[in-house]
Structure 1
Amino acid sequence: MRRKTIFLIRHGETDYNRRSVVQGSGIDAELNEMGKAQADAFYDAYGHVPFDKIYTSALVRTQQSVARFIQSGIPHQPMAGLNEISWGIYEGTAHTFGEDNAYKSILHDWKEGRVNQALEGGESPIQVQSRQLPVIEHILSKSHERNILIATHGRAMRILLATLLDESLDQMDKYPHNNLCLYKLEYYPDRNQFEVLLTNDITHLLTLHVSG
């Protein structure tokens, strides 16, 4: 098997992001005008890359983030395993994460290694990782797919990066993410190892007013 280069992005901005409302996997929001501009800026910067395959979550905001790549004829496969974590009863509510005791408590639990804990009605990082693992296995099994574009979500991205880099999930918060940021990774099959080449890169968005 030859090396793979993976371009891993978070979706562009939605009105839920703009209004600080929790989305998670249960809200299928579309990109807003800024999100569409971010998607265009990413395509303008990376449309020349000869991607062999595009993988997205099953949610529309990731698919819209790479729509121009898909329209150019690159094969695309949505996979629900790449969906955002479910935030349970918090989805659709105003973003009070900085002040909310339940959210602060769950983040503390995760940082302390209790990654099997979840908000009420939601998913734990372990559950998200469990549905991501078959996706990773699928992608790595496709030896002819060398340049891969993956569009996912903020918390899902953190879990995926920790998993790909063979780290415990209590380390996932060290991976920051902006809307339409890029993590570029190289996969070395002889070592079964990933190397990060770019981290939360947003140089392609420098002409825009970037929203975190």
Structure 2
Amino acid sequence: MTTLYLIRHAEAEGNLYRIAQGQHESILTDRGWRQVQALERRFEGVHIDAVYTSDLYRTCATASAICRPRDLKPIRRKDLREICVGDWEQRTWGEIYRRTPVQMADFSTHPERWYVEGAETPAQVRDRMLAALQDIAAENDGKTVAVFSHGYAIRMVLAALQGMTLAEAGTTPHGDNTAVSLLEASHGVLRVLWRDDNTHLQTPEFLAGEKVRRRATALEPGLWFVPLDLQAHGAFFETCAAEAWEDAGEKCPFSPQRLRDGITSRTTLVGFRDEEPVGLVQVGPAPGWISLLAIRREYRGRGFGVQLIGQAVQLARGRGAQTVRIAPPEEAAARTFLADYGFAPAETTAADRTVLEKDIAFRKEFLGD
């Protein structure tokens, strides 16, 4: 008999920024690393003979919770990857919902009829996951192994092991990041003992580090973004930036002309909720430098601000930056918000402002060959 712990990866950028990850690479968030620590505590004293993981960065990083304390080297397998979502990959869930609302609903609730261009079908994901788990169980007869994979892939395979059709799989729950399921394999037959347990994220030790803030969920599409068009978005651009300028306590007067003059050397995106513009993010002129991050007052506190950070991260990484940086006024309330999402003091400018910096680099030890 083989015992298999099937574990979902920790919170990654796509989960937080509301971007479809699929098989695209992304790093863990600060909260994700705290989940890794909680997972490590959960498995203290549990004997593990081997660790298998999908070859994507976010699972390899999560697997360190079990590998590092035991000096185990993870065995990377491509067949444990998340579903490839084809044309959806790296698009925001807000954009996906706006373009293909029926397909987005089917993705979660009707996997038997979901498909988009260039994607795997849920049935293909289910079948490769079943084959991978059966192969791992056969390789480790009589042993206990940990297997790290992804939310959708795990959901499809657990439903199959519980005797459900693809249509019935759409009624099953979504396991949280780092949720643990326990499987048992005997004579080539896999069965689920329990699934999607997240009690390690309910301990006082973990909850003490949770920030009190609005967090988007998988059921909320979020924002979609377009490049700034002054003819279409000029009034919103100035109003939103002026509000941010005023609320940040800037000492010099707000200058719409200076704002417009800076557009040519920067990339500016407008974020929309449905068809309503709600925020702005501007990066440049230096790679990784956030020159504007603003949400209209009536839309604040609804989980949209972090999605602006996500767009800044994507833009910065696309230009080769290893960090993103911003320098709000010292008394700005935005400093607390930014600190909640991993920005830390880095240096002081000539104008006596503290630059806040966030690391967005990939760690080499979690990258594939």
Q: Structure 1, residues 152-196: CA drift from partner, whole Å, max 9, x if none?
A: 111111112123334322222313211111112233x15824132
What are the ranges of 5 or more consecutive residues in structure 1 without an aligned counterpart?
none
Q: Give the equivalent residue in structure 1 for 2:123.
A: 126
Structure-2 separation of matches of 1:118 and 1:108? 13
**Higher mean displacement: 99-108 or 39-48:** 99-108
- The count of corresponding residues between Structure 1 and Structure 2 is 203
Given that residues 2 and 141 in structure 2 are in contact (C-alpha distance below 8 angstroms), is that contact kept between their aligned partners in structure 1? no
State the Cα RMSD in Å.
Answer: 2.3
What are the ranges of 5 or more consecutive residues in structure 2 without an aligned counterpart?
218-369
Structure-2 separation of matches of 1:19 and 1:64? 19
Structure-1 separation of matches of 2:72 and 2:82? 23
Residue 62 (structure 1) shift: 0.5
Q: Give the equivalent residue in structure 2 for 1:87.
A: 85
Q: Give the equivalent residue in structure 2 for 1:154.
A: 151
Highest RCO, 1 vs 2 (Cα 8 Å, sep ≥ 6)? 1
Structure-2 separation of matches of 1:15 and 1:6? 27
**Higher mean displacement: 34-43 or 136-145:** 136-145
Structure-1 separation of matches of 2:109 and 2:118? 18
Structure-2 separation of matches of 1:34 and 1:78? 24
Which of the pair has more CA radius of gyration? 2
Distance 1:59 1:166, change over 3 A: same
Q: Structure 1, residues 132-152: CA drift from partner, whole Å, max 9, x if none?
A: 243123112124452111111
Structure-1 separation of matches of 2:188 and 2:9? 30
| 1:28 partner SS | coil
4+ residue runs of structure 1 moved beyond 6 angstroms?
none
Structure-2 separation of matches of 1:177 and 1:108? 15
Matched, 1:102 2:103: yes
Residue 68 (structure 1) shift: 3.5
Structure-2 separation of matches of 1:160 and 1:195? 10
Q: Give the equivalent residue in structure 2 for 1:46.
A: 43
* TM-score normalized by the length of structure 2: 0.51
| 1:38 partner SS | helix
Distance 1:142 1:19, change over 3 A: same
Given that residues 27 and 58 in structure 2 are in contact (C-alpha distance below 8 angstroms), is that contact kept between their aligned partners in structure 1? yes
Q: Give the equivalent residue in structure 2 for 1:205.
A: 201
Given that residues 9 and 151 in structure 1 are in contact (C-alpha distance below 8 angstroms), is that contact kept between their aligned partners in structure 2? yes
Q: Give the equivalent residue in structure 1 for 2:16.
A: 18
* TM-score normalized by the length of structure 1: 0.84
Identical residues among aligned pairs (%):
26
Matching residue's letter, 1:201: D
| 1:66 partner SS | helix
